[in-house]
Amino acid sequence: MDPKIAKADEEVQKLISKKRNKSVEDRRVGSEIFDKQTLETLYKLANQGYINVLNGAISTGKEANVLKAVKKDDSFVAVKLYRIATSDFKKMQYYIQGDPRFNIKSNNKRQLINNWVNKEFRNLSRLYEAKVNVPKPIIALNNSLLLEFIGDSEGNPAQIVKNQKPENVDEFFNDLLIELNKFINDANLIHGDLSTFNILNKDNYPLIIDVSQSVVRDHPIADELLIRDIKNIYHEFKKLGSSFSLDTIKNKLDIDLDID
């Protein structure tokens, strides 16, 4: 095995569990992350100069893990790896069907994952071009997505709002609504799963992440998702101390929907 991939496998095995002694469950999850195709994909990315070695975990989830990688010039990138074994394929099909950019007829799980990764890459590219504050997409390959690393120069990742409350909640929320306005009205996309779990607090300014499920504005379920997004952030930021009303949010987003 290529030493870079061997090193990657070794690093992830260390990162899966914070306990000294791995359980059977820990080893199972590790094998789900680094199956043969994922290792081969990482080898290709390393061979093409996109990564040199994996260097830590940024976040772990049911469907994907985000890892930090170091390039040869010692700069950082984020590597998002989707897992075949634990992904919610019904959910993926729900968000992809009705999107005119995709014509997915196969029920092959690996193919669906690859299309899901491509969907997130295309959504990020569209948002980035619209100057929405999102991570810059680098490349999508199979079940792997490379993104701009969001953090400091020492490699410490920015925290989600859920874990790091903004210093000034209303100011931060207002900045978030400015970004969402561009998201909705310039990029013509709806996030679809917006919450304080997928908004980063980067130097007290919001950066939106996790846009794989995001749909185009004329998608059949777009309004339903938009209403859900608005309700989510309204309630979550209210708990943090925001004074914004639903009407204020709607006005700042320049939308006309019945939200109660």
Closest CA relative to residue 124, chosen from 110, 138, 111: 138
Residue 58, judged by CB atoms within 10 A of its CB (0-12, 13-18, 19+), counts as buried
Residues 188 and 215 sit within 8 Å (Cβ to Cβ): no
Residue 33: count of CB within 10 angstroms of its CB? 23
Strand, coil or helix: what is 183?
helix
Q: Which helix (H) or strand (E) holds 137?
A: strand 137-141
**Alpha carbon distance 123, 117 (integer Å):** 10
Residues 231 and 243 sit within 8 Å (Cβ to Cβ): no
- Residues linked to residue 118 through DSSP beta bridges, in sequence order: none
Measured CA to CA in angstroms, residue 224 lies from 33, 94, 257 at distances of: 33, 13, 10
> Is 74 known to be catalytic?
no
Instruction: List the catalytic residue out of 9, 99, 210, 229.
Output: 210
168 secondary structure, DSSP code: S
**Alpha carbon distance 127, 184 (integer Å):** 9
> Is 210 known to be catalytic?
yes
**Alpha carbon distance 189, 116 (integer Å):** 16
Instruction: List the catalytic residue out of 9, 99, 193, 229.
Output: 193
Closest CA relative to residue 211, chosen from 98, 141, 133: 133
Output phi, psi for 180, to 5 deg.
-65, -35
Active site residues: 193, 210
